[in-house]
Structure 1
Amino acid sequence: MGDGILVVTAVEAEAEAVRAGLVSDVLTVAPVGVGPAAAAAGTARLVALAEAAGRPYRGVLSAGIGGGFPGRAPVGGTVLATRSVAADLGAESPDGFLTLDELGFGTTSLPADPALLEVLRAGLPQAVTGAVLTLNTVTGTAASSAALLARHPDAVAEAMEGYGVATAAAAAGLPFAELRTISNPIGPRDRSAWRIGDAFAALTAAFATVGQKL
């Protein structure tokens, strides 16, 4: 454990898809749970254990499947986050949603490490880049989708762990990036439109391409 890049997924199925694309054990791949709290706690624990063992990681990558905003990230496609955003962390007000930044309590946006992102971009030139939103509740209506895009015009996808992983990486002073493959369009919940198998296959293909570059 340690030395290389830590790849964090939410569930074992995502971890298995990542491992299937790797030709060596150069990356450590571990599921840490669903949602930003589990992601932050699990990532922090793995980073601390590696440091205690004298084999610290040199970077952290949040990886898995997610939803893509229609017209921006197609189902089966790959997305690289320019930043990971805690999109539902804040407060409601008569004038609309207020972020932690607007409330003066901190930040809800953590940027991807430029060098790590460039490595991923070079290996995956067809990937869509933009903000990946972290949400505790998956978007299920057209109105919610439109509201998110209004607040985050650069958003291309949503998932449930990126910001949590980014927070743990930032606290440890480690470079961070987020890679998602798209299983469904964001908007009205329609399970018949989901292509989880395609997203897992894309996740495997992505790591087959970039696994040796990280």
Structure 2
Amino acid sequence: MVLRILIVTAVTAEADSVARGLRLDGPGPGGVPLPGGYLLRRHADAVDVLVGGVGPAAVAAATATALARAAVPYDLVVSAGIAGGFQPAAPLGSVVVSDTIVAADLGAQTPDGHLSVEELGFGRSTHPVGPALTRRVSDALTHGGQPHTVGPVLTVSTATGTAGRAAELAVRHPGAVAEAMEGFGVAEAAAAHGVPVIEIRAVSNAVGPRDRAAWRIGEALDALRHTFQLLSTTVFVEPAP
């Protein structure tokens, strides 16, 4: 059984890499317009790829629109793209698979440090991913020879640019493997519609000081393509947990 999957990226280059990796039977990619100017790129009537914009608010709006307008409900939502990896856990060119999606800077700053919205007494800042789903994705990548790391993926509204900020996040979120800017927004929309969600990203740079000369965006996009090629013939055609 082929599952109905919604894959949400921030920018077109990420969506293009995902689309190149998809290997499903059926007609080629088509376009389905949505309110708000969004466009679903449809593959084999089963997998939709959506460019949702940068940041949690933009992708939450885009994802919610796609979910609300779906004629056939989705079985799974995937937040996908490239990311900064915490070193040495997530090397450049590898992939990270979320076991938790975390809004890392949602809360309040105090003289004693950061307080999450849970500690403040309202809202939530984490979306756990179903362990069976994370395991199935990880197993598919392992069998396909794609290096990857499983762990919490952080969502931030401002990308980390200093060693101090990277160290602060690592202490506050033990085991975090990567940071990006959209996962939590996608997860909020998916949760509102009762659809399972996971975040899968390829590592293009290290979390820390911004050294553009060391970024490996092309290598990360290639890893993203390979990842979705593997998933399209394994996880995407298996029953959802």
TM-score, normalisation: structure 1: 0.95
Report Cα offsets for 1:100-132 as digits up to 9, x if no partner.
011011210111123322221111124200000
* Alignment counterpart, residue 29 of structure 1, candidates 21, 32, 49: 49
SS at 2:119 equivalent:
helix
Q: Give the aligned length.
A: 210
SS at 1:187 equivalent:
coil
* Alignment counterpart, residue 108 of structure 2, candidates 65, 81, 91: 91
* Alignment counterpart, residue 206 of structure 2, candidates 168, 185, 206: 185
* Matched-pair identity in %: 53
* Alignment counterpart, residue 49 of structure 1, candidates 55, 66, 69: 69
Corresponding residue number in structure 2 for 1:82: 99
Corresponding residue number in structure 2 for 1:12: 12
Across the aligned residues of Structure 1 and Structure 2, the Cα RMSD in angstroms comes to 1.3
Q: State the alpha-carbon separation in 1 of the partners of residues 109 and 199 from structure 2.
A: 28
Q: State the alpha-carbon separation in 2 of the partners of residues 20 and 111 from structure 1.
A: 29
Report Cα offsets for 1:22-73 as digits up to 9, x if no partner.
12223111111000001111000000010xx2x1111101000000011110
> What amino acid sits opposite 2:124 in the alignment?
T
Q: State the alpha-carbon separation in 1 of the partners of residues 220 and 63 from structure 2.
A: 23
Change (3 A) 1:5 1:115: farther
Q: State the alpha-carbon separation in 2 of the partners of residues 212 and 28 from structure 1.
A: 15
Q: State the alpha-carbon separation in 1 of the partners of residues 151 and 5 from structure 2.
A: 22
Structure 1 unaligned regions, length at least 5:
none
TM-score, normalisation: structure 2: 0.85
Q: State the alpha-carbon separation in 1 of the partners of residues 200 and 131 from structure 2.
A: 14
- Point out 4+ residue stretches in structure 1 off by more than 6 angstroms: none
Q: State the alpha-carbon separation in 1 of the partners of residues 91 and 128 from structure 2.
A: 23
SS at 2:209 equivalent:
coil
